Amino acid sequence: MIEDLKKDGEERMEKTLIALGTSLNKIRTGRAHPSILDGIRVSYYGSETPLSQVAAINVEDARTLSVVPWEKNIVPDVEKAIMKSDLGLNPSTAGTVIRIPMPMLTEETRKGFTKRAKQEAEQSRVSVRNIRRDILADLKELQKDKEISEDEERKAQDDVQKITDRFIAEIEKILAAKEADLMEI
């Protein structure tokens, strides 16, 4: 029973790390990377569809992405969706190929992106702590219902805290890597 609670908490904390990674991938660095365009949706036959499902996204060189829509008639829609995104990108179209040059990041934009990365990491830390709180509440409930002893509860609390500390440390490591990536010129 206690193991099930710990396992469930660990799985939920793992999902929090995955969500953090996904949200940090949307924060662009100076280099071209296809995951930068993950949040862009294109109007495709009346429904909002992720860009990666209507086009091939490739890295041409360190600072350029190329997007090749699978259907020629949606090239203008794809270009419009990229321009409307809050990424500050200006695509240029040559036939069916849309090239997206990655502008150099200024010191100010780097700091803004770093601040956003820190906010994302803080949300993940809060999420991990909320999961810990839920597990501890469940443990208290089990102890109150006399399903586990006080000693078992205390030991389980220590184990849950260790798991929480491990995931918080992992979040810090991910954030430090993203900050280093953002500040790299």
* Whether residues 66 and 120 fall in one domain: no
* Whether residues 127 and 169 fall in one domain: yes
Phi and psi at 90, nearest 5°, equal -120, 95
| Beta carbons of 31 and 178 less than 8 angstroms apart | no
Provide the CATH number for the domain around residue 86.
3.30.1360.40
* Whether residues 132 and 178 fall in one domain: yes
Q: Is residue 86 pLDDT above 80, yes or no?
A: no
**What is the structure's pLDDT at 28?**
65
| Cut 0.85: pTM above it | no
Cα dihedral across residues 124, 130, 132, 138: positive or negative: negative
Residue where one domain finishes, among candidates 75, 101, 127: 101
Domain containing residue 47:
34-101
* Helix extents (H) in 43-149: 75-84, 107-144
Q: Is residue 115 pLDDT above 70, yes or no?
A: yes
Domain count, the chain: 2
Give the mean pLDDT of the chain: 86
Q: Is residue 92 pLDDT above 80, yes or no?
A: yes
**What is the structure's pLDDT at 78?**
86
Q: Which residue carries 């780097």 as its tokens?
A: 110
Q: Is residue 166 pLDDT above 90, yes or no?
A: yes
Q: Is residue 161 pLDDT above 90, yes or no?
A: yes
Q: C-alpha angle with apex 137: 132 to 140, nearest 5 degrees?
A: 125
For 44, residues 6+ apart whose C-beta sits below 8 A from its C-beta are 53, 54, 74, 77
| Beta carbons of 31 and 62 less than 8 angstroms apart | yes
| Window from 3-12, 78-87, 113-122 with minimum mean pLDDT | 78-87
Q: Count Cβ atoms below 10 Å from residue 165 Cβ, excluding itself.
A: 12
**What is the structure's pLDDT at 122?**
94
**What is the structure's pLDDT at 16?**
93
| Beta carbons of 172 and 19 less than 8 angstroms apart | no
Residue where one domain finishes, among candidates 46, 77, 101: 101
Alpha carbons 178 and 72: distance in angstroms, whole number: 36
* Whether residues 59 and 20 fall in one domain: no
**What is the structure's pLDDT at 185?**
62
Provide the CATH number for the domain around residue 178.
1.10.132.20
**What is the structure's pLDDT at 135?**
92
Alpha carbons 59 and 81: distance in angstroms, whole number: 19
DSSP label of 59: E
Q: What is the mean pLDDT of residues 43-62?
A: 85
| Window from 1-5, 25-29, 38-42, 173-177 with minimum mean pLDDT | 25-29
How large a percentage of the chain has pLDDT more than 70? 97
Residue where one domain finishes, among candidates 50, 66, 101: 101
